[in-house]
Amino acid sequence: MAQKRELQDRYFRQAKREGYVARSAYKLLEINKRRKLIRKSDRVLDLGCAPGSWLQVAEKIVGEDGLVVGIDLQRVTTEYGPNVHLIEGDFTKVSASDLLGGGDELFDVVISDMAPSTTGHGDHFFSERLCQEIINALPDLLKPRGTCTMKVLEGETFPHLIKRMKHCFRISGAIKPDACRDVSRETYLYGIGFRPSRVIQYDERNEGELPEPVPGWGD
């Protein structure tokens, strides 16, 4: 047990040393190292960006010529450079035009570390629904051949989500970064080579009805 706690504390201490606001930064760093989803000069959208560690990682990768937009229900207080723009709100209720800054240039990458506010019962259903909503929104946000990664809590609906990702992206899969806690069911889906014409609205009649999400989304 002590060894497990030491592993978790290591990422916490490392985040403090390196200036990241949360240990979750190392999840995105590992995903990007393994799959190269974010590149220099990219336009990146971070859905559910609080407390802001993924924004920090994306900002460093894209550099001065890139752009990072983050949206969250909670206010993000971390300071960033001029190429990081923050929106306070619910991404499911904010228009694609507002997320794009009023322009028509789509993002190269969409990332999400969101998870549902946990209830202890059926959390994976809420998590999968959230991921389905992200996929539904991608045609208005992500460029063709773009990349995406998002967190999901594994459960019995997980195979349906994997199947849909494989349909909508040329390459897709799942990664559980080392920084994830051992006891957590969280994993990260990734997609490379977005195919927007293959995105159709999720049909609950085909996969079984899912419960309505609880208000608010947690990190």
Catalytically active residues are 151
SS3 at position 218: strand
d(CA 136, CA 202): 7
Output the DSSP codes for 98-140: HHTTTS-PPEEEEEE--EEPP-SSSHHHHHHHHHHHHHHHGGG
| Assigned token pair, 8 | 């978790």
d(CA 69, CA 85): 5
Cβ-proximal residues to 70 (8 Å cutoff; 6+ apart), any chain? 45, 46, 49, 52, 54, 55, 76, 84, 85, 86, 87
d(CA 79, CA 150): 24
